[in-house]
């Protein structure tokens, strides 16, 4: 028996329907991922299910006493409440009592038990509602998410606020859990824990996510919201992609057949006075009906289409970090980091929330002076910065004003383009460009900020969580663009698939301010760690670092495919090996020459040192080639 059911539900804002006579139900234990383009109405559907939005037509049926918890997409606003108070509010009246009791215990401690009478009253109220067992749930969830109960929400980062609202949704043990972009602002450790928790969750789960790894690990069914209609795809994400492609081909053929029929009728009606005198009135009515049907057809939203202007090349050296350390008082953020960034590098930065990723970015860019060591910046750097909080957007201004300051034309990659045409590449219809930014969804704001950055001529891009709220199609296009970008890229992201497909090396925050560099993306880092039967994540949070082996044992082994970056690496390895072998032959020939040892000792040592390096690099290349070829063969 389903937990809830939507029957013939419709809802429209303006002239376009977000929901058009949709039917939907979910069984206990199902994990349904709701997918669809930004702005199609996914969050609106969640509000209808949660009862905070009323449909124009149709009805929502729920089981008796069904508990529904809803994690919304946006980060909550500032509040003086503590984290404990916010989480306990998810329990309704009992939560309010628990929050008051928690506050009273703090006051008793501070005032030498001056309000014991109030504390006694609260204890009695909680006991009457059998609330102590429930109180333990609050403590357990706070502990699992490593949240400090007495910290005020106003003092929390976006990531901690997100985790707090997630804890609030989980604490009431709901029968139906609605999660709207639950991985936004969470670090990889928290995402891994959340996957583990939701895999064992016994209620019904409906979630919206852009995180493809999260989606693949959790979803048992995928439901797509497309042009007001819901289409269900049982099975995993790969099955959804195959079936969706088949449906689009069928739809395109049907539309072409319809358009051909309409064109024939239009030609007939325009044949002149003689034809009109003898025309069949039934055919005229048919033409009118065809015109009406064509006018009501909702076209599939196009794909985003944009390009990046890499600008003039920077110097070969972008930044040289020479044993850099940075501290805030006694707190060490970065300890003795020595690395360099070269032109064309694509570097991912990974670590738990609050570890110092943004601080490291500022150190690399020279915006922050290290407390020890030195940062040497390269020449001719032109930097564009994507801020996860979208601080470069003025929410009171329109889309047009944010992009072009009211002008109708902008210059992109040396070409003059009209603002309307340029924004259409980022899926903004003409009627949307004079809307205020505060009216845009999270995904639309991210696309606008990308449009603003890509209109600039830059040779270095710094992207801080650019994937939040973007739909999967736009994410994949962004991946392809960044993979082909000729400039330098610094990327902070908790999206594991995005990291794997874009970066060539990863800086990982480990314990005590140590930052280590690894070749490749997140999966490459994961494979380099000791195998202990658990999955390690880059975190200093003990409660979130490990995924229990019992949970992993239940997941089927998935055949791995080469990522875009790995495919390009495999294609380049033969040329690299050939170049190294040529150099190795030349070095061996030079060392075999009797005159070689008559040179200065420094020159002999340099040549032999280079020969050792080439030998080592060749071994590494052959090993990597064999590893990638083995993946292709599986």
Q: 169-216, pLDDT tens digit by residue?
A: 888 778 999 999 888 878 888 888 888 888 888 889 999 998 889 998
- What pLDDT was estimated at residue 118? 64
Q: What residues contact residue 538 under an 8 Å CB cut-off, 6+ apart?
A: 188, 189, 350, 351, 352, 508, 509, 510, 525
Q: Where are the beta strands (DSSP E) in 470-597?
A: 488-492, 505-509, 515-519
Q: What is the band of 273 on the pLDDT scale with cuts at 50, 70, 90?
A: very low
Q: What is the model's pTM?
A: 0.64
- Between 490 and 550, the higher pLDDT residue: 490
> Which residue matches tokens 């069949």?
280
pLDDT (mean) for 240-253:
73
pLDDT (mean) for 370-374:
93
% of the chain exceeding 90 in pLDDT: 14
pLDDT in tens, 133-163: 666 777 878 887 778 888 888 887 767 787 8
- What pLDDT was estimated at residue 312? 61
- Does residue 418 carry a pLDDT above 70? yes
CB atoms within 10 A of CB 340: 13
**CA distance linking residue 437 with residue 399, whole number of Å:** 6
- What pLDDT was estimated at residue 516? 92
The answer to whether 68 and 172 have CB atoms below 8 angstroms apart is: no
At residue 123, φ and ψ (nearest 5 deg) are: -60, -40
Q: What residues contact residue 487 under an 8 Å CB cut-off, 6+ apart?
A: 308, 310, 311, 314, 343, 344, 458, 459, 460, 461
- Does residue 544 carry a pLDDT above 90? no
pLDDT (mean) for 491-510:
90
Ranges 174-178, 232-236, 310-314, 353-357: which has the least confidence: 310-314
Question: Any alpha helices (H) in 492-563, and if so which ranges?
Answer: 496-502, 522-527, 542-545, 549-553
**CA distance linking residue 492 with residue 494, whole number of Å:** 7
- Does residue 168 carry a pLDDT above 90? no
> Which residue matches tokens 């009797």?
594
pLDDT (mean) for 214-219:
91
- What pLDDT was estimated at residue 15? 61
- What pLDDT was estimated at residue 423? 86
The answer to whether 51 and 174 have CB atoms below 8 angstroms apart is: no
- Top mean pLDDT of 222-226, 234-238, 539-543 is at 222-226
- Does residue 39 carry a pLDDT above 70? yes
- What pLDDT was estimated at residue 370? 93
- Does residue 231 carry a pLDDT above 70? yes
Q: What is the band of 350 on the pLDDT scale with cuts at 50, 70, 90?
A: very high
- Does residue 381 carry a pLDDT above 60? yes
At residue 461, φ and ψ (nearest 5 deg) are: -115, 135
In the chain the first and final C-alpha atoms are separated, in Å, by 41
pLDDT (mean) for 334-349:
91
Q: What integer best gives the mean pLDDT of the chain?
A: 78
- Between 243 and 536, the higher pLDDT residue: 243
**CA distance linking residue 570 with residue 575, whole number of Å:** 10
Ranges 246-260, 383-397, 410-424: which has the least confidence: 246-260
Q: What is the band of 49 on the pLDDT scale with cuts at 50, 70, 90?
A: very high
- What pLDDT was estimated at residue 327? 92
- What pLDDT was estimated at residue 344? 87
pLDDT (mean) for 259-263:
67
- What pLDDT was estimated at residue 307? 57
- What pLDDT was estimated at residue 557? 46
% of the chain exceeding 70 in pLDDT: 75
**CA distance linking residue 280 with residue 609, whole number of Å:** 92
- Does residue 111 carry a pLDDT above 80? no
Residue 4: strand pairing partners: 26, 62
Write down all domains in the chain, each with its CATH number in brackets: 77-171 (no CATH), 314-382+457-527 (3.40.50.300), 395-455 (no CATH), 564-633 (1.10.287.380)
């Amino acid at each position: 028996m389903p937990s809830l059911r939507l029957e013939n539900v419709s809802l429209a804002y303006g002239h376009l329907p977000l929901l058009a006579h949709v039917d939907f139900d979910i069984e206990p234990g199902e994990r349904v991922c709701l997918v669809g383009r930004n702005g199609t109405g996914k969050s609106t559907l969640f509000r209808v299910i949660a009862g905070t939005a009323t449909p124009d037509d149709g009805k929502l049926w729920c089981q008796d006493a069904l508990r529904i918890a809803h994690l919304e997409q946006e980060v909550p606003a500032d509040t003086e409440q503590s984290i404990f108070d916010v989480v306990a509010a998810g329990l309704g009246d009992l939560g309010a009592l628990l929050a008051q009791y928690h506050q009273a215990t703090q006051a008793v401690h501070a005032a030498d038990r001056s309000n014991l009478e109030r504390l006694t009253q609260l204890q009695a109220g909680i006991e009457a509602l059998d609330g102590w067992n429930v109180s333990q749930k609050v403590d357990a969830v706070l502990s699992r998410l490593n949240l400090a109960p007495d910290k005020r929400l106003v003092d929390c980062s976006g990531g901690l606020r997100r985790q707090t609202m997630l804890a609030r949704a989980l604490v009431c043990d709901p029968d139906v859990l609605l999660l709207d972009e639950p991985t936004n602002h969470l670090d990889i450790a928290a995402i891994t824990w959340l996957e583990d928790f939701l895999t064992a969750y016994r209620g019904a789960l409906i979630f919206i996510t852009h995180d493809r790894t999260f989606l693949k690990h959790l979803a048992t069914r995928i439901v797509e919201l497309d042009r007001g209609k819901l289409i269900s795809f049982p099975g995993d994400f790969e099955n959804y992609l195959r079936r969706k492609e088949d449906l689009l081909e069928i739809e395109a053929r049907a539309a072409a057949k319809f358009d051909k029929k309409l064109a024939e009728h239009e030609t007939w009606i325009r044949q002149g006075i003689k034809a009109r005198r003898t025309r069949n009135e039934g055919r005229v009515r048919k033409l009118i009906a065809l015109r009406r049907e064509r006018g009501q057809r909702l076209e599939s939203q196009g794909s985003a289409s944009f390009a990046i202007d890499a600008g003039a090349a920077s110097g070969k050296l972008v930044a040289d970090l020479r044993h850099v350390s940075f501290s805030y008082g006694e707190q060490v953020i970065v300890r003795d980091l020595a690395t360099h960034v070269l032109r064309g590098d694509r570097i991912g930065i990974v670590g738990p929330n609050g570890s110092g990723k943004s601080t490291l970015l500022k150190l690399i860019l020279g915006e922050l002076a290290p407390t020890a060591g030195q940062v040497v910046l390269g020449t001719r750097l032109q930097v564009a910065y994507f801020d996860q909080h979208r601080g470069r957007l003025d929410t009171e201004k329109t889309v047009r004003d944010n992009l072009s300051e009211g002008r109708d034309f902008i210059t992109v990659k040396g070409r003059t383009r009209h603002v309307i045409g340029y924004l259409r590449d980022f899926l903004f219809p003409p009627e949307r460009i004079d809307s205020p930014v505060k009216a845009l969804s999270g995904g639309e704001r991210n696309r606008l900020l990308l449009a603003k950055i890509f209109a600039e001529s830059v040779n270095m891009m710094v992207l801080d969580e650019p994937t939040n709220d973007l739909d999967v199609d736009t994410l994949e296009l962004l991946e392809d663009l960044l993979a082909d970008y000729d400039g330098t890229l610094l990327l902070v992201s908790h999206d594991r698939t995005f990291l794997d497909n874009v970066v060539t090396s990863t800086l990982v925050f480990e314990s005590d301010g140590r930052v280590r560099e690894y070749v490749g993306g997140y999966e490459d880092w994961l494979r380099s760690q000791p195998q202990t039967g658990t999955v390690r994540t880059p975190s200093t949070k003990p409660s979130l670092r490990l995924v229990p082996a019992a949970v992993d044992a239940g997941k089927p082994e998935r055949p791995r495919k080469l990522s875009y970056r790995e495919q390009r690496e495999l294609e380049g390895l033969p040329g690299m090996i050939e170049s190294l072998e040529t150099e190795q032959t030349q070095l061996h020939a030079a060392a075999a020459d009797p005159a070689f040892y008559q040179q200065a000792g420094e020159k002999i040592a340099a040549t032999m040192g280079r020969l050792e390096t080439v030998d080592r690099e060749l071994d590494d290349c052959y090993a990597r080639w064999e590893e990638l070829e083995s993946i292709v063969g599986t």
